[in-house]
Amino acid sequence: MDCFRNFVGLAGCGATTPDSGRYVNELPGISLESVDSLVNSEQISYAKLFTDLQTTSQSSFQNNIVARLTKRFRKKTLHESIDTGKVLDLATISAAANQYRGLSIELDCPSYSPFVNSTLFGLSWQSLSLYLSAVPASPIPVKIWDMDTKAELFTKTINNTANPVSVGWNEIKINQIFFKSLRQFAGYDATEIASPLLRFNPNYCCDGLVRGGQTVTKSDPSILGYGDNLFGLNAIFSVVCSYESLICNNKLLFVDAWLYHLGVNLIRERMFSDRWNWWTLDKDKLEDMLSYYTDQAEKYLNDAVDGIDLDLNDDCLECNAMQTIKSVHP
């Protein structure tokens, strides 16, 4: 989760205004001079130190949020895993064309009552595999994009020196999760590729609708048509559940908790610094500051999480009730 990077800034010479309008050196006892006093030979400047601090703080901050959300909600982690298969019909061929061919995955199809599609959904792509009856002369771009915004989420070019291909199945590793995108298309440039038929049930709709598709042209990513043909492109992916979108879409709700969390880690930097100066030697003061910042960080984080109300009919959630009632039959 990288969405909090530079959301809170470090006020100093030439510093840009962060989106939150907040600065870590607005906290009591933290000044630009005190931050600069911690810079080591590898960091060179206080700006680099602050960048490193954010990197180490983001993971623990996310874990703190998730731990508190888990006290109220039971979230499924892996909701569904799918392999579209590799059973080809090599006798049925679509001639090469100036378009992208592949498959679409849509997570906003109507769910079965009483459940609702989840704002916590994300698509985790493990890999794509492209079947080639012959190796084309040109490189082959392979892409995943958001069907609504047309924004590219992933791109890789194969059939080049870095990524050679051969006749048969060619794996393209992805290993990425894309959130905040409910409709995604994965496809390859079919300009020089005759595509064998790879069927997949076009009515598949559990928590996602998976269909084969092809674009109007390479430059126009609008879908020309849908069907059961994946055009020789196998996909292995999962529908996952994560709080990342919820958290990143509501950063202002967590800004005070993030501010004090940075303060906690900055004080720890002071306490364990190998630089001896006025800012690092007063251990009693540092202990008091650490205790205060920790209390404030926990308070603001609890306030933020307690104010979140999620629909328990959400596909990703189960009520994490303290008590349950079970019927016992003889």
The pLDDT, as a whole number, for residue 310 is 85
What ranges do the domains of the chain cover? 78-242
Spatial distance between the Cα atoms of 108 and 114, rounded to a whole number of angstroms = 15
Q: Is the pLDDT of residue 204 over 80?
A: no
pLDDT tens-digit readout, 266-278: 888 887 766 544 4
How far is residue 230's CA from residue 227's CA, in Å, rounded to a whole number?
8
Q: What is the pLDDT of residues 205-233, one digit of tens each?
A: 555 688 999 999 999 999 998 999 999 99
Q: Topology of 78-242 in CATH? A: Jelly Rolls (2.60.120)
Query: What's residue 152's pLDDT?
Result: 96
Return the closest-CA partner of residue 22 out of 31, 30, 11: 11
Q: Is the peptide bond before 114 cis (omega within 30 degrees of 0)?
A: yes
pLDDT at 292: 94
Mean pLDDT across 57-78? 88
**Which pLDDT belongs to residue 181?**
86
DSSP 71: H
Cα–Cα distance, 90 to 71 (Å, whole number): 53
**Residue 127 main-chain phi, psi, to 5 deg:** -165, 160
The mean predicted confidence, pLDDT, of the chain is 85
State the pLDDT at residue 274. 61
Bridge partners (DSSP) listed for residue 155: 143
Q: Tell me how far apart the alpha carbons of residues 194 and 95 are, in angstroms, rounded to a whole number.
A: 5
Residue type, 107: L
Which amino acid is it at 238?
A: S
Question: What pLDDT sits at residue 40?
Answer: 56
248, 3 in Cβ contact below 8 A?
yes
> For 311-323, how does the pLDDT look when each residue is reduced to its tens digit (9 = 90+)?
877 778 875 444 3
**More confident call, 37 vs 144:** 144
For 138-181, write each residue's pLDDT tens digit: 999 999 999 999 999 999 999 999 999 999 999 999 999 998 88
pLDDT tens digits along 75-124: 877 767 889 999 999 999 999 999 999 999 988 765 444 445 677 888 99
